[in-house]
């Protein structure tokens, strides 16, 4: 009787061990609500062709439009009102592909922003804190929330460039991979000239 119980216990332990091993090696669950657009902008498109250029003049645009900082960086105006104060957006487009969006707001809007994103895109892949230090030496707990998908990664940080600003980065994994390959080709070409 004791030997049967021992064999059963070993069999259960082995089967649970293999289940745990399989769980460790399996891919993370798919982000079911991974977006293809954000605030009316196609994440796999080209901002310059998908959204109108802002009109010249001093009036604040009321519809989605862009102003150019350079050939690759754009400021987006006329964002939809979503209940987040002072929300601003910059977009980087490389080789006609949207590489990333960078949205900023006041740090005290972080909780509201996190809750809004969670409601729309589901539970984050990662949520945690890290310690950040100011130039003066003060330390703060920086909350960070990440949604990781196949094509898009969204990272919301309570503190971004300073302790008064929260930021959301929406990164196109395809565009980053393409830019990485192109940069490596440029580096190889430059190195061949040495």
CB neighbourhood size of 127 (10 A): 14
Rounded distance between C-alpha atoms, residue 72 and residue 146, angstroms: 25
pLDDT digits (tens, 9 = 90+) for 92-107: 998 888 999 999 999 9
Distance (Å, rounded) from C-alpha 99 to C-alpha 172? 5
The secondary element (H helix, E strand) that includes residue 92 is strand 88-94
Distance between first and last Cα of the chain: 77
With a cut of 70, say whether residue 13 has pLDDT above it.
no
Q: Above 80 in pLDDT, residue 117? A: yes
Cβ partners under 8 Å of residue 154, min gap 6: 117, 121, 146, 147, 168, 169, 170, 171
pLDDT at 92: 93
Mean pLDDT value of segment 160-178: 88
The percentage of residues in the chain with a pLDDT greater than 70, rounded to a whole number, is 85
* pTM (two decimals): 0.77
Strand partners, 121: none
What's the half-sphere exposure (Cβ side, CA atoms, 13 Å) at 79?
A: 20
Residue 188 confidence (pLDDT): 87
How remote is the C-alpha of 178 from its chain's centroid?
17
| Confidence (pLDDT) at 145 | 96
Smallest CA-to-CA distance from 164 within 130, 124, 134, 131 is with 134
Higher pLDDT, 175 or 188: 188
| pLDDT for the residue 54 | 94
Average pLDDT, the chain: 83
pLDDT tens string 19-43: 334 444 555 567 889 999 999 999 9
Q: Are strands 65-68 and 52-53 parallel, antiparallel or unpaired?
A: parallel
What is the per-residue pLDDT across 37-82, written as a single tens digit (0 to 9) for each? 999 999 988 888 899 999 988 788 889 999 998 989 999 999 999 9
């Amino acid at each position: 009787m004791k030997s049967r119980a021992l064999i059963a216990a070993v069999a259960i332990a082995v089967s649970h061990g293999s289940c745990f091993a399989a769980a460790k090696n399996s891919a993370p669950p798919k982000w079911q609500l991974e977006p293809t657009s954000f605030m009316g902008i196609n994440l796999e498109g080209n901002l310059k062709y998908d959204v109108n250029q802002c009109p010249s003049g001093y009036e604040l645009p009321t519809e989605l439009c862009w102003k150019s900082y350079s050939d690759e960086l754009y400021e987006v105006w006329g964002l939809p009102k979503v209940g987040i104060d002072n929300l601003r957006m910059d977009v980087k487009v490389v080789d006609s592909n949207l590489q990333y969006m960078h949205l900023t707001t006041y740090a005290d809007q972080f909780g509201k922003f996190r809750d809004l994103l969670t409601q729309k895109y589901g539970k984050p892949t990662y949520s945690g804190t890290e310690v950040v230090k100011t130039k003066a030496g003060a330390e703060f707990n920086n909350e960070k929330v990440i949604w990781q998908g196949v094509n898009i990664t969204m990272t919301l940080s309570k503190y971004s460039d300073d302790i008064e600003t929260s930021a959301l980065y929406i990164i196109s994994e395809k565009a980053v991979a393409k830019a990485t390959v192109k940069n490596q080709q440029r580096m190889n070409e430059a190195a061949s000239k040495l």
